[in-house]
Structure 1
Amino acid sequence: MRTRGFTRCGVIFGLSVVIVRLIGGSTGLVCYTAVESLDLGCLLRWDCLHASPNITYTVQTKTQGDPWQDVPWCVWISSRSCDVSHVFSDFELYNMIRLGVHLSPSSTVWIKPHKFDYSDFTFSPPSVSVSLKNDSISVKVQFPCATNRRCSHDACCPISKLIDPWTTVTVYNERNRSDNQSRTVWTQEVVSTVEFSGLSPGQNYCAVANFSFPTFSIAASPKSAPGCVETGSRWGMLPMYCVGLALSLLFLVLFLAGFLRKPRRDRTTADNPPKPLATVQDADSSAPPIFVDPCDIHVELVDDHSSIDSFHGFHKAPTSGAETKRSSQPTHFDHSRGVTVQHEVQDMTFESYN
């Protein structure tokens, strides 16, 4: 597949013809060389007419600012091609390739060098995948794999890892080609994603994409195979709207039912009022008797100094005539109020008459 791609590229760009005349012979040796490039690869082919089967060849490359260097796997070879894709890494610089013909171990003729730049580039078309996001279409562009020394040999290395291509994506209505949109973006990621909005509902839209080498539109890829998707219709969204409306109404009904249930409980409580309280008389009659500890009863005796002196005089000089004044009231418990009532005991005065 790769050889066919290089062959197509060689047909497009033509062949460089270089004639090498060998001084030591009567027959001149003519060599045709051509550079083929596909997806940033580089293949040098040559064909030397009337060349001896014992003639060998060497290929050299040169990058701007560097000297000529042998391609290690293309030194003193007898084949008629050399793949130098792993040699070049910076495609913004000038790159050169040349072929050396070894007429003898000590004699080498170098053919006029070939340049290798964007004018030699050809690309495979990218691939697209289309997805529908709400009312917009998202187009994902995947770039072809490149062969380069900075990429792994075991996995695909997209060319977007080596260059930042300009990517053009076009979305069109399959039934009405006049309904189309196109956008060109500068891709700086491995995969380019472009979104389109404002599309008519219920239509089948397709997307195609191509890309070109940065700042050089001459090196552009063919368009990709279309990727299509059908946009949703307005009537197709109606069931979803109905389901959402029904769920909202159900939630509202449940909320109102829960809110109105609480006043009904309060009304039920009001319809069954509490029983009336018993009368005070019934409460007094049914109240249990109150018992008083005798230790809680206190009796206070209030004396004054004169009575105390008189009391001492009574012991010292008793008389026959005595007048005693007493006034005392006993301490008792008031059952109706439940309190202890204390009465003062008046002082006792003893007077002697001489």
Structure 2
Amino acid sequence: METPGITKDRLKASMRFCIMVALLSKGSSGLVCFTTVESLDLGCLLRWDCPHASPNTTYTVQTKTQGDPWQDVAWCVWVSSRSCDISHAFSNFELYNMIRLGVHRDPSSTVWIEPRKFDYSDFKYSPPSVTVSLREEQLLVKVQFPCAANRRCSVERCCPITQLIDPWTTVTVYNNLNRSQFQSRTVWTQEIVSYVEFSGLAPGQNYCAVANFSFPTFSIAASPKSAPQCVVTVSKSGERKTFNF
């Protein structure tokens, strides 16, 4: 008669064996693919590498937006390339977006690699640009945003990312001769460009403005700062100059 301790040890070993079998079964196809996503200004480029696939293997890419079924990316069906630009496949970045790669082993067999998400954690942005001007006692900063790669935009014209998302835009104005003197404002941008006004500037000083923006509610997906644009406030002589850096 077996002792309780031995019975428990055998039960644990049996469970470990079952888990190993399950893991081996999951990978029994022998197919391994590595996928990466590159994103700039809301674009999306999927790259993949399937080291053990035949050189003649073809692939299909599908996307899925929250609430919708999987759909083929029309220009990446049965392709032999190792990348697919799917920037035009997504339009709503507030919902969950998914991507998956299908590997065609033969005309009747497709192996789907585990899907991966596409969201704010993948986003990278180009910096915005700023223009500064003086209006009496106020400094007006105009922020322009980079063009987006998306199906809502034609390739012939610039479609600012603010047509696709409403970012938080932070503008900082500082005294170029005394960096400890600065003002910073963050606004929620819902227009193609953003205008931010600053007051309380001293006369005859060189003030510079920089700006950056981030995906709504997720500061982790933030752009680099713009190049500074500077202007000298009106001095006693009434002169002023604008500097571009």
TM-score range, shorter chain: 0.7 to 0.9
Asked whether the 8 Å contact 1:203–1:230 carries over to 2, the reply is: yes
Q: Following TM superposition, by how much is the alpha carbon of 1:22 offset from its aligned partner in structure 2, in angstroms?
A: 6.2
Answer yes or no: is 1:194 the counterpart of 2:184.
Answer: no
Alignment of 1:243-262 (within 5 A): none
Match of 2:214 in 1: 212
Alignment of 1:1-354 (within 5 A): 23=29, 28-236=30-238
Name structure 2 gaps, 5 residues minimum.
Answer: 1-25, 240-245
SS in 2 for 1:100: strand
Asked whether the 8 Å contact 1:35–1:114 carries over to 2, the reply is: no
User: What code does the residue aligned with 1:62 have?
Assistant: K
Give the number of equivalent residue pairs: 214
Asked whether the 8 Å contact 1:128–1:209 carries over to 2, the reply is: yes
SS in 1 for 2:153: coil
Q: Following TM superposition, by how much is the alpha carbon of 1:120 offset from its aligned partner in structure 2, in angstroms?
A: 1.2
Max Rg structure: 1
Higher relative contact order (CA 8 A, sep 6+): 2
SS in 2 for 1:30: coil
Asked whether the 8 Å contact 1:58–1:99 carries over to 2, the reply is: yes
Distance 2:32 2:75 in 1: 24
Q: Following TM superposition, by how much is the alpha carbon of 1:111 offset from its aligned partner in structure 2, in angstroms?
A: 0.3
Name structure 1 gaps, 5 residues minimum.
Answer: 1-19, 238-354
RMSD between superposed Cα atoms in Å: 1.4
Structure having the larger proportion of residues in helix: 1
Give % identity: 79
TM-score scaled by length of structure 2 = 0.84
Q: Following TM superposition, by how much is the alpha carbon of 1:46 offset from its aligned partner in structure 2, in angstroms?
A: 0.3
Q: Following TM superposition, by how much is the alpha carbon of 1:50 offset from its aligned partner in structure 2, in angstroms?
A: 3.0
Q: Following TM superposition, by how much is the alpha carbon of 1:145 offset from its aligned partner in structure 2, in angstroms?
A: 0.3
TM-score scaled by length of structure 1 = 0.59
SS in 1 for 2:89: coil
**Which string of whole-angstrom CA distances, capped at 9 and with x for unpartnered residues, describes residues 62-90 of structure 1?**
11111111110000000001111111111
Q: Following TM superposition, by how much is the alpha carbon of 1:21 offset from its aligned partner in structure 2, in angstroms?
A: 5.0
SS in 1 for 2:92: coil
Match of 1:17 in 2: none
